[in-house]
Amino acid sequence: MRIFQCNHCYQPVFFENSYCGGCGHLLGYVDSVNEMFALSSYDSSWSINGTQYTYCKNVEHGVCNWLVPEYKSSSYCTACNLNRTIPDLRIDENKELWAKLEQAKHRLIYSLQRLGLPVISKNNDLSGFCFDFLSSAVPDKNGNKPMTGHKSGEITIVLSEADSIQREQIRLSLEEPYRSLAGHFRHEIGHYYWPRLVLSDEHHLQRFRELFGDEKVDYSQSLKTYYQTGGLKNWQNSFISQYATAHPWEDWAETWAHYLHIINAMDTAYHFGLKGDPHLANTEHMEIQSVDPYTNVSFQKIIEETVPLFFAINSLNRSMGIPDIYPFVISEPVKRKLEFIHEILLGHRIR
């Protein structure tokens, strides 16, 4: 993600900041221009390039700092307008968990917009997508506990995934090397875009089947088999995660999520101007020259720079006594899958 500044005092600020720690001005993000703007007080008016803006309605809950043009009928921003169900805010703990969900979701929408993908709310258009943030302690009308997943543009994220302790317990029970809120959002949105980017294009669909397999294989039975057997052995040779072996759709969603991991990490490194040279023998391949992943058309260049970047970040984490931030090995078959996604998205932007 790019680095933002207060446009009043030029103090660097985080994407989620609603006020500047340097000058005390209020901060608001305008997604249509990807910029952060400062305002002296609530008594003033957000006037940007001749358009009047107001805060998204969810600012009152402290979960959003995006601005909405006053001429729009909705009082919610692009990201918050995607919500269909939010947690019961009468429960204090839910407020904190919801804030974490919103942070991950807003960053997801930033990425989708930078990639030029359509962000359409199912609340306004049935072809779009929406989010249901549900508690696993509250069963649905059929008595079933909600589960994180996607169905026809409806993305459910279970509230407990925002609880770091519970999420870690689930990660350990499933023997996963990595589990994060960002990963859930990126995975589930991958399911939403698959029919729009792959199924709708015969050439893409044929290539998908060559790389990921035949998606017509029974999905429910595949998942049942996966949870009974634990998936393929030696999965690291051809898949980015063990869960990716469950079904071609899950392989796509897992690979899609990792593509977004890579793009976001490189985008942040690029805007920080990160460079690195370990000054060791025969380590030219470990030099870091950050590139802009949203404008660089060569996936080969992106992946070449990502490998040493993650190695450096993992080394920093180990020096602090915490786990690797990216505990994965990208095999050649996975590289081809990632490049396939890159080419689809590049072609989509060009159109």
pLDDT single digits (tens) 13-55: 999 999 999 999 999 999 999 999 999 877 667 899 899 999 9
Look at residues 266, 97, 252 and name the one whose alpha carbon lies nearest to residue 181. 97
Q: Which residue has the tokens 């059929």?
A: 142
Residue 110 has a CB neighbour count (10 Å cut-off) of 20
User: pTM above the 0.85 mark?
Assistant: yes
Q: Say if strands 130-134 and 154-158 run parallel, antiparallel, or are unpaired.
A: parallel
In this prediction, residue 179 carries a pLDDT of 85
Backbone angles phi, psi at 41, to 5 degrees: -165, 165
Residues facing 130 on adjacent strands: 154
DSSP string, 70-126: TTSS-SS-TTGGGEEE---TTSHHHHHHHHHHHHHHHHHHHHHHHTT----BTTT-T
Question: What b/e sequence results for 116-151 when a residue is b if at least 16 CB atoms lie within 10 Å of its CB, and e otherwise?
Answer: ebebbbbeeeeebbbbebbbeeeeeeeeeebebebe
- Give me the pLDDT at residue 44, please: 67
* Strand duo 130-134 + 83-85: pairing: parallel
Q: What is the pLDDT of residue 196?
A: 96
Sheet holding 149-151, edge to edge: 83-85, 130-134, 154-158, 149-151
- The DSSP code for 57 is G
Reading the chain (351 residues) residue by residue, the pLDDT tens digits are: 899 999 999 999 999 999 999 999 999 999 999 999 999 877 667 899 899 999 999 999 999 999 999 988 889 999 999 999 999 999 989 999 999 999 999 999 999 999 999 999 999 999 999 999 998 878 777 788 899 999 999 999 999 999 888 888 888 887 788 889 999 999 999 999 999 999 999 999 999 999 999 999 999 999 999 999 888 889 999 999 999 999 999 999 999 999 999 999 999 999 999 998 888 777 777 888 889 998 877 899 999 999 999 999 999 999 999 999 999 989 999 999 999 999 999 887 644
